Structure 1
Amino acid sequence: MSCAYIAFTETGLKLAERLAFSHPGSISRGGKNGVKLSEWTAENFQKSDALIFIGAVGIAVRAIAPHCKSKATDPAVIVLDERGRFSIPILSGHLGGANDLAKKLASICGAVPVITTATDIEGVFAVDEWAKAQNCHVLEPGRIKTVSSTLLAGKVVYYDSQWKITGTQPKNVFPADENHQADFSVTLYPQSDALHLVPKICVLGVGCKRGTSAEHIEATFKQFCKKTGCAPQSICACASIDLKKDEPGLLEFCQNHDFNIRFYTAEELKKTSGEFTSSSFVQQITGVDNVCARAAVLASGGELVIEKHIYSGVTFAVAAKPFTPDWSV
């Protein structure tokens, strides 16, 4: 987690330096003769995972107000007083990790963590916090409150999952059945009105003709996701054959999505276990009968979940890494 600290007094700066020793990040001095607070906030709201203000809560609230957009994308924001007596998360407590970071910072300086989210206060299952712990993307953040408010009212919520969830399920959380639709769903293929939690565990295998543009790959990727029902948020990496390691369009596509991409030789791909759609044309060009599916499986270390789909000059397949969700946070 990348942190950015700002303090407004010498005492506050010393505390920031102490905290940054355990949770590294940039340290700035605000106020008179320091950085301009509005500029510091705008810059770090975009590039940092957590903003830590050493000073008054009101200063932080006014500074971040113009930038707050969504609990799904806003960074964690924590405020500590300059004496390190209280550690207060004020934004993105669950999805952004502010609650957890506030507790960790508090433990360093002996502060009291001031946690105000209702689910934490009442000891109720927090679906967004759990999703973050399971490396899941929350597809519809606005639906979090439906699940949370139901549990806070002492009522039951139901879930479904493509994977068995180990451990003891939380109080008032039960599997959906023929009589009860899921309130939240752990899946790669969102289809219902439930809150969808999408594990970021998939590798996109890609094959493409020489000179294929990033725009064309992007357009076909959207078609692929729409046709297969696969949530693009499940993709965490790409894979292909080493013949494509200098393919500008493919590299740009991956950069646009912040996907890491791995390349394999034809010999490595041939050794990949599994049943794959074979193409004599691909074999002739690359030396292996299937690039996208084999590359996806090899890079994921898991199983093929979507077989090869062919578009104009592009092929896609998806494999999922092993995934074992657990009820613990």
Structure 2
Amino acid sequence: MICAYIAFTARGLALAQRLAAACPGSVARGGADGVPLADWTARQFAQSDALIFVGAAGIAVRAIAPHCRSKAADPAVVVLDEGGQFAIPLLSGHLGGANDLARWLAAVCGAVPVITTATDGRGVFAVDEWARHQNCAVAEPERIKKISGALLAGEPVRYAADWPIQGTPPAGVMPTDTADCADFALTLTPRGEALHVVPRIAALGIGCKRGTSAEKLEAVFAAFCAEHRLALQGIMQAASIDLKQDEPGLAAFCHAHGWPMDFYTADELRTAPGNFTASNFVQSVTGVDNVCERAAVLASGGELLLPKWAHDGVTFAVACAPFAPDWRWKNDEP
């Protein structure tokens, strides 16, 4: 977690430095003798996972107000008084981890964590916090309130999962074998009206003709995702053969999605375990019978999920890293 601290008094600065020693991050001084607060907040909203204000809550609220966008996008924001008596998560308590961060910082300085989210106050399962602890994204953040509201009202919620979940489900949470009946689902391929929790475990293997533009890759990728109902949030990296390292369209496509790109030689691709869709043409051009499937498997370290899919000179495949979810949904570390 990339943290950024700001304080406004000498006493507050000393506390910020103490906290940063335990939970590392940059430390700035605001106020008349320090950095402009508006500039600091704008910069850290874009760059950091968590903003920690040591000062009045009102200062923090006014500073972050112009930048708040959504549950899924906002960083964690925590405020502590300069005396270190209280630690209050202001924004992104579950998905961004502000609640856990507040608890952790409170433990460091002896403060009282002031957690105001209803599920925490009642000790009720929070699906968005569970998703974060399982390294998953929430595809439809607007549906979280339906799950939380039902549990807070004492009503059961049902889940479906494409992986076995270790441990005992929390109170009020029960499995269903019918995905259409699920209130939330753990899956890479969402469908229906459930809230979809998407594991960040997928690698996208890519093959393409030389000179393929980023625009074409994007259009074909959209069709690929639509046909397979693939959740974009689950893809964490992309991979291809080293012959594609100098392809500007491929580089731009991956950069636009924020995916790191791995490249493999033909010899390396041949070492990928599994059965793959062989192509004599691809073999003659690249020296290996399949690029996208093999690259995806090597990049993920796991198994093929979606085999080679070809359209208009572009091929995609998806493989998944090993994934062992459990019912852990909160702890005291950020």
- The alignment's TM-score, normalised by the length of structure 1, stands at 0.97
- The whole-number CA distance in structure 2 between the counterparts of 1:177 and 1:301 is 29
8 Å contact from structure 2 (residues 188, 199) kept in 1: yes
- Superposition pairs for residues 141-220 of structure 1, below 5 Å? 141-177=141-177, 181-220=181-220
Q: 1:81/1:166 Cα in 2 relative to 1: closer, same or farther (>3 Å)?
A: same
Match of 1:138 in 2: 138
Instruction: Name the SS for the 1:296 alignment partner.
Output: helix
Q: Cα distance, 1:271 vs. partner?
A: 2.1
Match of 1:35 in 2: 35
Match of 1:84 in 2: 84
- The whole-number CA distance in structure 1 between the counterparts of 2:281 and 2:179 is 51
Deviations 1:121-175 (A, max 9, x none): 1110000000011111101101101000100111100000111111011001001
Q: Cα distance, 1:275 vs. partner?
A: 1.4
Residue 289 of structure 2 is aligned to residue 272 of structure 1: no
- The whole-number CA distance in structure 1 between the counterparts of 2:11 and 2:275 is 64
Match of 1:305 in 2: 305
Alignment-mate amino acid for residue 210 of structure 2: R
8 Å contact from structure 1 (residues 55, 82) kept in 2: yes
Deviations 1:283-320 (A, max 9, x none): 00000010000111122121111110111121100011
**Gapped regions of structure 1 (runs ≥ 5):** none
8 Å contact from structure 1 (residues 4, 52) kept in 2: yes
Match of 1:55 in 2: 55
Match of 2:123 in 1: 123
Deviations 1:54-92 (A, max 9, x none): 001111111111211111111100000101111111110
Relative contact order higher in (CA < 8 Å, ≥ 6 apart): 2
Q: Cα distance, 1:261 vs. partner?
A: 1.4
Alignment-mate amino acid for residue 229 of structure 1: R
Alignment-mate amino acid for residue 64 of structure 1: I
- The whole-number CA distance in structure 1 between the counterparts of 2:303 and 2:53 is 45
Instruction: Name the SS for the 1:28 alignment partner.
Output: strand
Match of 2:94 in 1: 94
**Gapped regions of structure 2 (runs ≥ 5):** 330-334
- The whole-number CA distance in structure 1 between the counterparts of 2:196 and 2:180 is 16
Q: 1:203/1:177 Cα in 2 relative to 1: closer, same or farther (>3 Å)?
A: closer
Match of 1:7 in 2: 7
Deviations 1:74-113 (A, max 9, x none): 1100000101111111110000000111111111111111
Q: 1:189/1:86 Cα in 2 relative to 1: closer, same or farther (>3 Å)?
A: same
Instruction: Name the SS for the 2:181 alignment partner.
Output: coil
Q: Cα distance, 1:179 vs. partner?
A: 11
Q: 1:180/1:292 Cα in 2 relative to 1: closer, same or farther (>3 Å)?
A: closer
- The whole-number CA distance in structure 2 between the counterparts of 1:313 and 1:326 is 40
How much identity, in percent, do the aligned residues show? 64
Q: Cα distance, 1:202 vs. partner?
A: 0.6
- The whole-number CA distance in structure 2 between the counterparts of 1:79 and 1:179 is 41
- The whole-number CA distance in structure 2 between the counterparts of 1:316 and 1:284 is 19
Match of 1:223 in 2: 223
Deviations 1:209-267 (A, max 9, x none): 11111121111111111111111111111111111122221112111111111111111
Match of 1:109 in 2: 109
Q: Cα distance, 1:191 vs. partner?
A: 0.8
Structure 1 runs of 4+ with >6 Å offset: none
- The whole-number CA distance in structure 1 between the counterparts of 2:290 and 2:210 is 16
Deviations 1:7-64 (A, max 9, x none): 1100001111111112222222111222222222122112111111000111111111
- The whole-number CA distance in structure 2 between the counterparts of 1:187 and 1:118 is 26
Q: Cα distance, 1:182 vs. partner?
A: 0.6
Q: 1:319/1:47 Cα in 2 relative to 1: closer, same or farther (>3 Å)?
A: same
Q: 1:64/1:296 Cα in 2 relative to 1: closer, same or farther (>3 Å)?
A: same
Alignment-mate amino acid for residue 296 of structure 2: A
Q: 1:178/1:99 Cα in 2 relative to 1: closer, same or farther (>3 Å)?
A: closer
- More displaced stretch, 209-218 vs 80-89: 209-218
8 Å contact from structure 1 (residues 158, 180) kept in 2: no
